[in-house]
Amino acid sequence: MNRRTFMQAIGSAALSPLLPQSVFRRRRPSDPGWPTPARWARLKRQLNGNLLPVDFPLSACPRDFGGAACKDLFANVTNPYWLGDQPGLTENFGWVDAWMTRPSVQAMAATGAGDIAAAVNFARENDLRLVVKGGGHSYQGTSDAPDSLLVWTRPMNDITLHSDFVPQGCVGAAPYPAVTLGAGCVWADAYDAVTTRAGRYVQGGGCMTVGVAGLIQSGGFGSFSKHYGIAAASLLEAEVVTADGRIRTANACQNSDLFWALKGGGGGTFGVVSSVTLHVRPLPEFFDYAILTVRASSDDAYRRLLREFVAFYRERLFNDHWGEEAHCSPSNLLTLSMVGQGLDPAQSRAAWQPLLNWLAQSPQAYTIESRPIIGAMAARDWWSRAENPSLVADPRPGAPHWHLWWRGDGGQAGLVLHAYESLWLPASLLADSEQPRLAEALFDASRHWEVELHFNKGLAGAPPAVVAAASDTATNPAVLAAFALAIIAGGEGPAYPGVAGHEPHLAQARKSRAAVQRSMNALRAIAPVGGSYVSESNFFESDWQHSFWGSNYPRLAAIKKKYDPEGLFFVHHGVGSENWSADGFTRLRN
């Protein structure tokens, strides 16, 4: 048993008297040296009062299940904007056997980079665990930790549009149309400002309640990434507070190594991003959609359907027009929820007609569950509730009218995960000789669990300039040659850890996890070194450095050591986290 395994098994706190004096442990509230009330009060004055004890809404129910606070939780928990407004909660409530949402001790509600710098300095000087949260979306549980100081960037939601932006220090560089977004912005804010109001496009995430800064740092994919690329590749400049408390500007001309690391190297790892400036693009006239569910009458018919769809995708959809999802389920359903850009309504329908014709030839074998919905709409109206019935509005009085979410994303609010796996599938599997093997692997995987293919999360088929831009980010290079990201996941929700009668079902979760693993193993058999997307991945990934970043990891590790040599910023399976205990409190190696 190695030293790290031994420490984690017994508990770092119990071992403290036995460890060499060079081993460092962050302070908890019960430790000598935890900041006194007077020191917290000085920090609060320095922050103009923007320091608050963190309320934990889940704790209201065990105390008084029928009370107003518990009723308020149950009434609002499916609203992702309400969740984002609670510094003591996260979008998801946990992952069985991995983590459950827990509040920080204190939260600093940041209003600017100066506030962030004060909190960073306070945490460093007092040996505190520091956590950063914007949107609060983290399947890995990286945006919360007990016994910590929270840097909460939600109040920082200023947006500035630029017609001619030149990154600082880039003398003579060509100007860009751009938008600067505060770290507290979510993508609904960005799309409303850039697209609905200004008639332009910014590459962001598909889920509208995800934080802008967090998505950029994870790499970031949106519905139209097959044409516009990953979100990180649109980053022109970032303002970031590093572990020494300095407010730095990072772009291609200054702090360029840090700039590269922020483009996909993982959120909460290299510093606290206070704002990002992103390249803004022309908006196409139309965004396209295709929604179709097909049921096969037998396993053999389903095999034929998967083979036909793989061939159809390769011939008709493997381009920069189409992205989003195909679901292959154990009940022999193929569910397609695809979106695209750049085609008018007639062109959109024409793209799908060959598949519809093929299905019509075998009415005994295939049933279309509901009328196909295929067409296009004005791109400027895509994120407008008045024009798009697939959007749900924040129902709270006074909520911004653009605070919307996709109906299909609502299930993430209060979700407790059982399992989550992802794998990039290389485009070589679309070759004529490989298509039967791919289709059979999808069939085998679907016998255990539902398989999702996210075509917009692989850049094979994208324009060469898009692939080149992504290659200059920290994202795993496997994405460049992948036609899709396969995701296999399960969970339940809303589920409430610690609330009797509403807690996650542990036995079912472990059973589901085993089935998800068997399902993904069928795909790993044909893509053994595909790699995984850091934000949508297995909490228990063993070879996470290679899986998340591939050949980029050594460079990221060197940048981490340069800007955060003492490891102030810790997240689960973040760059440099192998040097710390699982909870980030005890350093295991220098």
**Residues 385-416: tens digit of each pLDDT:** 888 999 999 999 999 999 999 998 999 999 99
Helix (H) or strand (E) holding 338: strand 333-341
Contact 103, 1 (CB under 8 A): no
* Pairwise pLDDT comparison (1 vs 191), residue with the higher score: 191
Q: Which distant-in-sequence residues (6+ apart) come within 8 Å of 5 by Cβ?
A: none
User: How far is the C-alpha of 434 from the C-alpha of 440, rounded, in Å?
Assistant: 10
Instruction: For the chain, give the percent of residues with pLDDT over 70.
Output: 96
CATH 3.30.43.10 for domain 24-153+571-579: yes
How much is the average pLDDT of 329-346?
97
Q: What residue type is assigned to position 2 of the chain?
A: N
User: How confident is the model at residue 1, as a pLDDT?
Assistant: 36
**Residue 473: pLDDT above 60?**
yes
**Residue 11: pLDDT above 80?**
no
Phi-psi region of 576 (alpha: psi -120 to 50; beta: other; left: phi over 0): left
* pLDDT interval class at 14 (50, 70, 90): very low
For the chain, what are the domain ranges? 24-153+571-579, 159-282
User: How confident is the model at residue 303, as a pLDDT?
Assistant: 98
* 2-16, 182-196, 243-257, 461-475: least confident range: 2-16
**Residues 362-388: tens digit of each pLDDT:** 999 999 998 999 999 999 999 998 889
Question: DSSP character for 567?
Answer: -
Burial class (CB in 10 A: 0-12, 13-18, 19+), 194: buried
pTM recorded for the entire structure: 0.94
What are the strands of the beta sheet with 129-133, ordered from one edge?
51-53, 106-109, 148-152, 129-133
Q: What residue type is assigned to position 422 of the chain?
A: S
State how beta strands 366-368 and 286-296 pair: antiparallel
User: How far is the C-alpha of 324 from the C-alpha of 373, rounded, in Å?
Assistant: 15
* pLDDT interval class at 55 (50, 70, 90): very high
**Residue 565: pLDDT above 70?**
yes
Contact 140, 217 (CB under 8 A): no
Q: Name the average pLDDT for the chain.
A: 94
User: How far is the C-alpha of 240 from the C-alpha of 249, rounded, in Å?
Assistant: 6
Contact 469, 233 (CB under 8 A): yes
Q: What is the four-CA torsion angle of 66, 72, 78, 81, rounded to 10 degrees?
A: -160
How much is the average pLDDT of 106-121?
97
How much is the average pLDDT of 268-276?
97
Fold (CATH) for 159-282: 3.30.465
Q: Which alpha helices (H) appear in 420-472, and where do they start and end? A: 435-446, 464-471
How much is the average pLDDT of 203-213?
97
Helix (H) or strand (E) holding 236: strand 235-241
Closest CA to 139 of 575, 579, 573, 582: 573
User: How confident is the model at residue 144, as a pLDDT?
Assistant: 92
How much is the average pLDDT of 570-584?
96
* pLDDT interval class at 589 (50, 70, 90): confident
User: How confident is the model at residue 63, as a pLDDT?
Assistant: 84
User: How far is the C-alpha of 374 from the C-alpha of 437, rounded, in Å?
Assistant: 29
* pLDDT interval class at 590 (50, 70, 90): confident
How much is the average pLDDT of 533-542?
96
**Residue 2: pLDDT above 90?**
no
**Residue 575: pLDDT above 60?**
yes
User: How far is the C-alpha of 423 from the C-alpha of 445, rounded, in Å?
Assistant: 13
